Amino acid sequence: MSEENTTERLDFVRTIVAGDNKTGKWGGKVITRFPPEPNGFLHIGHAKSICLNFGIATEFSGVCNLRFDDTNPTKEEQEYVDSIIEDVKWLGWEFGDGPLFASDYFKQMYDYAIELIKKGKAYVCDLTAEETREYRGTLTESGKDSPHRDRSVEENLDLFEKMKKGDFPDGSKTLKAKIDMASPNLNMRDPVMYRILHATHHRTGDNWCVYPMYDWAHGIEDSIEGITHSICTLEFENHRPLYDWFLDQLGIHHPQQIEFARLALTYTVMSKRKLLELVEDGLVNGWDDPRMPSLSGLRRRGFSPEAIRNFCKTIGVNKFNSTIDLALLEHCLREDLNKTSPRVMAVLRPLKVVIDNYPDGQVEELDAINNPNDESAGTRKVPFSKVIYIEQEDFMEEPPKKFFRLAPGREVRLRYAYFIICTDVVKDENGNVVELHCTYDPATKGGDAPDGRKVKATLHWVSDEKALNAEIRLYDHLFTKENPSDTKENHDFKSNINSNSLEVLTNCKVEPSLACAKPLDRFQFERLGYFCLDYDSSDGKLVFNRTAILRDTWAKLQKAQKKKS
């Protein structure tokens, strides 16, 4: 650890790791793992776990394994494996030897199971799933022993062998650990270690007819890999005694399980089930819909890996459930994008402006700064001509007090171009403003007035002559409530969906430099927000996603005024 880090306060997990390093508990080694089940896509909540595990490994000169917990072939698919690998890499983490798989340890697990049977610590049980539930008892009443609990070792060995070979139908038998049916911890009431599943596994094919349960498999996986700190979420706290029990019975390398609280965010849901429901019900357009908290969705929305990693660092880690304000995620996003995004000009809702005293047919190439926060980003040329577009909301015929922008008779600056004064307003038959006439001051070329006069506003604009058309997708919170689960009776979280979370603008004008943008390229559209090019773009058709808006004091003012009246 660097000197800077030693003064930094450690979260409770890192405190444990640092303490172990100090006492030499693991011989100075730190090995963690991120163990997703390949049955769905990763989301921002997983990012918290990923950054914790990979982050700790990095900070303590250790390693972190990406290991797929693929012990349930009925739910898992290669597609998910691929996307998870992509997402972890995109976040910027490296997992040395490539991805690992629990299924690679099936034989070892099987041998360990036989060892437990021989020790009289496991038995084959013929109880059905329903009977098992009955025998387990309840939270307040202890369970009762299975009638098969005292089978001989030989019989258990024989039966288990046959289970493995596929001699019995699914659900007819299980292998259970012989622990304590009276334990107040239900996980210790003879938990199932293996179930019979005649299913094809995405990696082991039809080699196995029995598959290990999580509790049995996970500790062994950790043990085999020499994991030192097995970091998982809070709901596994009740499982720790079982994790410990299996490893103790086997007498093998015994990592320390540490539990932390999973991430919750306002205005969104995080469970795989609910996310899947949004996709299947067509409430969003797939897992990578830019409104989704999935990593693929955030990526498509325009999030940078740095922003997400920084967010994960900022939120910390603890042992109690908390809900993080989405505003914090957005802050981390803007913080990074502000530093890294090239500025360009784009007009979302164009209002045509004719500059009456500008020469017909003339096009000037004006210098514009690519990133005021990064001199090395250089400059570019933007074309200016007689007809331009400005934002509709940058003009008001009857401006209220604090409105600084264009109005009849008022002078404003066009960014990097000229000062203009509005001389005339053209309306359609419904009274809507459809066109403005202005005059410009040639002496203000570039945006500065030689006489030193000031204007209160600077507007972004795009030249009609060279403008590119674009479709721009504006996104808002997926849900109308901070907590989507806060519903009326008989309604579920989907009743809180924000029906205005997507607005598609098709008549947008963007500056010509955007012609060579590639999908996922990020930009700041000046005065509007951060945007990124969507995959849906094709030659001649630009589609942008709005990643985030810029902070907007004027909008805030308006909102406050509206509230007052």
Partner RNA sequence: UGGGGAAUAGUGUAAUUGGUAGCACGAGUGACUCUGAAUCACUUAGUCGGGGUUCAAGUCCCUGUUCCCCAGCCA
Contact status: 118 vs RNA (CB under 7 A):
no
| Closest among 219, 225, 139, 128 to 168, alpha carbons compared | 128
Stretch near RNA under the rule CB under 7 A, chosen from 110-118, 289-297, 333-341, 420-428: 333-341
- Contact window for RNA (CB under 7 A) among 58-66, 354-362, 413-421, 507-515: 413-421
Contact (CB, 8 A) for 503 and 477: no
CA 375 from chain centre, in angstroms, equals 31
- With 0-12 / 13-18 / 19 or more C-beta atoms within 10 angstroms meaning exposed / middle / buried, residue 86 is middle
Other beta carbons less than 10 A from residue 391's beta carbon: 20
Q: How far is the CB of 482 from RNA (least distance, A)?
A: 9
Closer to RNA by CB, 212 or 290: give it.
212
Handedness of CA 59, 60, 63, 66 (dihedral sign): negative
Binding segment for RNA among 157-165, 329-337, 352-360, 381-389 (CB under 7 A)? Answer: 329-337
524-543: which residues touch RNA (CB under 7 A)? 524, 526-527
Of 325 and 503, CB closest to RNA: 325
Total residues binding RNA (CB under 7 A): 95
Applying CB under 7 A, does 372 fall inside the site for RNA?
A: yes
Beta-carbon neighbour count of residue 112 at 10 Å? Answer: 23
Question: Closer CB to RNA, residue 237 or residue 375?
Answer: 237
CA 235 to chain centre: 21
- Which is nearest to 349 in space by CA: 543, 109, 561, 510? 510
Binding test (CB under 7 A) with RNA, winner from 32, 53, 72, 296: 72
One of 252, 457, 502, 520 touching RNA (CB under 7 A): 457
Exactly one of 42, 127, 353, 478 binds RNA (CB under 7 A); that residue is 127
Q: Is residue 511 within the footprint of RNA (CB under 7 A)?
A: no
Binding residues for RNA restricted to 131-160, rule: CB under 7 A: 131-133, 136, 138-140
341: which DSSP letter? P
CA 338/CA 523 separation, integer angstroms = 9
| Active-site residue, selected from the candidate residues 25, 37, 435, 494 | 37
Residue 335 bears catalytic tag: no
The type of residue at 69 is D
User: In this complex, which beta carbon is closest to RNA, that of residue 60 or of residue 214?
Assistant: 214
Q: Is 196 in the site for RNA (CB under 7 A)?
A: yes
Q: Could you give the 3-state DSSP secondary structure of residue 297?
A: helix
β-sheet bridge partners, residue 426: 435
Print burial letters for 56-84: b (CB count within 10 Å at least 16), e (below 16). Answer: bbbbbebbbbbbbbbbbbeebeeebbebb
* Per-residue DSSP letter, 185: S
Q: Min. distance of Cβ 34 from RNA in angstroms?
A: 12
Nearer to RNA, 506 or 552 (CB): 552
Of 123, 190, 208, 191, the residue nearest 157 (C-alpha): 123
Q: Is 186 in the site for RNA (CB under 7 A)?
A: yes
- Cβ 539 to RNA, closest distance in Å? 29
Q: Are 214 and 192 in contact (CB under 8 A)?
A: no
Distance of CA 407 to the CA centre of its chain: 42
71 near RNA, judged by CB under 7 A: yes
Residue among 3, 4, 6, 9 that touches RNA (CB under 7 A): 9
Smallest gap from Cβ 203 to RNA, in A, equals 14
Spatial distance between the Cα atoms of 126 and 172, rounded to a whole number of angstroms = 6
Q: Is 415 in the site for RNA (CB under 7 A)?
A: yes
Q: What's the chain's Rg over C-alpha atoms?
A: 31
Binding to RNA (CB under 7 A) within 200-239 occurs at 211-215, 217-218, 234-239
From 153-161, 184-192, 275-283, 466-474, span contacting RNA (CB under 7 A): 184-192
Site for RNA, residues 38 to 67, rule: CB under 7 A: none
335 touching RNA, by CB under 7 A: yes
DSSP state of 444: G
Is 131 one of the catalytic residues?
no
Binding status of residue 464 toward RNA by CB under 7 A:
no
**Would you call 262 a catalytic residue per the annotation?**
yes
Task: Enumerate the active-site residues.
Answer: 37, 262, 272
